[in-house]
Amino acid sequence: MASGKAGVPVSFDKIQKSFGPVRVLEELNLQVEPGEFLVLLGASGSGKTTALRILSGLETASAGRVLIGGRDVTDILPKYRDISMVFQSYALYPHKTVAENIGFPLKVRKVPQAEQEVQIRDAAAQVQLGELLHRYPRELSGGQRQRVALARAIIRRPSVFLMDEPLSNLDAKLRGHMRAELKHMQEKFGITTIYVTHDQIEAMTLARRVAILERGVLQQLATPAEIYNNPANLFVAQFIGSPPMNVVQGALDGKAFMSNGAAIATSVGGRIAKAVLGVRPEDCSVVAPAKGAIKGEIYATELIGDHTLVTLKAGNDMLTVKAAKDFTAKLGEKAGVAFSTDRLFVFDECNGLRVR
């Protein structure tokens, strides 16, 4: 591996942030391992961008500390933090050429001209931009602009990369491609990277660990697989997965989940008056009405390609099932849904926590 330096750890220590009366972050505690690719995932307004901006120094925390490489950087300027950032809009300077854009961090630090040129060419080569150094940003495609922003970030070899939804302005095909490149580059350099996104696919594919934020509170911090297979609460369970997890409301009564008069065996015990049963579409199957744990009728079928999504209406609940691609059924036909007991999740409806 060509990495010049090992990544540094980053941690948020009881970070709080409020804008006036609005609390955006409530006591965020987060440790990022050296060289880790961490994704901050959340809907808009969840506080993920604010957390990133506090780390970059563009925003000041109301309380708490930020540590980069064990060093308290809470009250120092961005330029002393040894970070670089890729913005959602790329923030390329329209009046500067690609080369000038990439070299700007060196220029403000008064690096000698000759050395600047070497480094600019080096950084441009890393992102396959060698040919375009004399163009202006407006003459580039979206993907190329993205690369320029990336080159400007890597030219300094910072301790930490910060990325604020860097792929959201690209079209779907290019996004997949750039995702792979980003991941490759991050592993090559081994620089600690914190990546903000609202796109769960990006989060799952890129991250070593994902931190899910909602309303300024960290919901779960775990590897993508762990988050998918073992969601900590109802929010995480519903946020991750496409199509989202099916939920059925009811009550947990001893060993079974009671809903609409049907008893569904679960692997957890306990008694909760208001509980929610969750099951992922791929863990369900459509069966004859008599065999199903839940009975309903076919509401819609959608052929996706390698599979068919079947939506069933059971009482007030809609259930989505991932079925084989040759599945056919008539609208309104009676059907049942079956699932394996060990793939069921039960949540307490009052606090959303997983019942284990």
Partner 1 sequence: MSEAPFKFEKANRGLMERLFEPPAVGRMSPVANVVAYFLLAVWSIFVLFPLYWVVITSFKDAAAVNQGPFYIPFVDFVPNLNAWRAQFTEDANCNLSSIGRQFGLLVYNAFAFIVSPVVTLQPMEPQICKIFLAFTNSIVVSAASTALCVAIGSMAAYALVRVQYKPKFGNIMMFVALTVLVIAATTYTRAPWWASSAVALALFFFLARALGKHFTRTLGNGDILFWIISQRILPPIVVIIPIYVMFQAVGLLDTHLALITVYAVANLPIVVWLMYDFFSSLPIELEESAQLDGATRFGIFWDIVLPLTRPGLAATTLLTLILSWNEYLFAVFLATAKVQTMPIMVAAKNAGEKGVFWWEMCAIIVVMIIPVIIMAVFLQRFIAKGVLLGAVKG
Partner 2 sequence: MADVTNNSYQPGTSPAGASSGMSWGEWLDRHSRTFFITPAVTLILIFAIFPTFYSIVFALSRVRFTADGLQFRFVGLQNFAKQFFGNDQVHFLGKTEGIGVLGWVFFGAVTAAVLWWLYRSLRITSPVGMLGRLISAAMAIFIAWIMGASLLAGSTIGTLLTTLFYVFVGCALQFVIGTGLAFLCSQPIAGKNFFRVIFFIPLMVTPLGVGYAMKMVADITKGPFEPLLRGFGIENWVWSADPWAARFVMMICDSWQWIPFIFICMLAALENVPRDHVEAAQVDGASSVQIFREITWPQIVPVAVTVLLIRTIEAFKIVDLPNIMTGGGPGSSTESMTLHSLYIWRSNDIGTSAAVAYLLLILTVVVCASFFNYVVLGQLRKARA
Q: Which does 89 bind (CB under 5 to 8 A by kind): partner 2, partner 1, none?
A: partner 2
Applying CB under 8 A, the span of 85-93, 127-135, 237-245, 329-337 interacting with partner 2 comes to 85-93
Residue 73 makes contact with partner 1 by CB under 8 A:
yes
- Dihedral angle computed from the Cα positions of residues 259, 313, 225 and 169, in that order, rounded to the nearest 10 degrees: -140
* 3-state DSSP of 266-314: CCCCCEEEEEEEEECHHHEEEECCCCCCEEEEEEEEEECCCCEEEEEEE
Using the structure block, give the residue that is written with the tokens 């001209």: 113
CB of 56 to partner 2, least distance (A): 6
CA distance 109 to 207: 32
Residue 5 binds which of partner 2, partner 1, none (CB < 5-8 A, kind-dependent): partner 1
**One-letter identity of residue 188:** K
- Report yes or no: 73 and 67 within 8 Å, Cβ to Cβ: yes
Report CA Rg, the chain: 24
Q: Is the dihedral of CA 227, 228, 230, 233 positive or negative?
A: positive
Q: Compute the least distance from the CB of residue 95 to partner 2, in Å.
A: 4
Measured from the CB atom, is 195 or 257 closer to partner 2?
A: 195
Nearer to partner 1, 79 or 291 (CB): 79
Residues 6+ apart with CB under 8 A from 183: 37, 205, 206
The window from 72-80, 115-123, 166-174, 308-316 that contacts partner 2 (CB under 8 A) reads 72-80
DSSP 21: T
Residue 317 touches partner 1, criterion: CB under 8 A: no
Residue 86 near residue 163, CB atoms below 8 Å:
yes
Q: For the sheet containing 256-259, what is the strand order?
A: 262-265, 256-259, 246-253, 271-279, 345-348, 354-355
Residue 94 binds which of partner 1, partner 2, none (CB < 5-8 A, kind-dependent): partner 2
Closest residue by Cα to residue 84 from 191, 165, 178: 191
If binding is defined by CB under 8 A, does position 107 make contact with partner 2?
yes
- Check residue 229 for interaction with partner 2 (CB under 8 A): no
State which residue, 95 or 173, has the beta carbon closest to partner 2: 95
Which part of the chain contacts partner 1 (CB under 8 A), choosing from 54-62, 282-290, 321-329, 332-340? 54-62
With binding defined as CB under 8 A, does residue 57 bind partner 1? yes
- Residue 137, interface with partner 2 (CB under 8 A)? no
The least CB distance from residue 136 to partner 2, in Å, is 8
Q: Does 71 help bind partner 1 (rule: CB under 8 A)?
A: yes
Number of residues that bind partner 2 (CB under 8 A): 26
Residue 243, preceding bond cis, omega within 30 degrees? Answer: yes
Least Å distance, CB 31 to partner 2, is: 23
Name which of partner 2, partner 1, none residue 14 binds, using a CB cut-off of 5 to 8 Å depending on partner kind.
none
- Residue 119 binds which entry of partner 1, partner 2, none, with Cβ cut-offs from 5 to 8 Å by kind? partner 1
Question: φ and ψ at 66, to 5 degrees?
Answer: -115, 130
CB of 67 to partner 2, least distance (A): 18
Q: Is 87 in the site for partner 2 (CB under 8 A)?
A: yes
Q: Which helix or strand (DSSP H or E) is residue 122 part of?
A: helix 113-126
Contact 312, 296 (CB under 8 A): yes
In the complex, the residues that contact partner 1 under the rule CB under 8 A are 2-5, 57-60, 71-73, 75-83, 106, 109, 111, 115, 119, 156-158
In the complex, the residues that contact partner 2 under the rule CB under 8 A are 56-58, 77-79, 83-85, 87-89, 91, 93-96, 104-105, 107-109, 138, 152, 156, 162
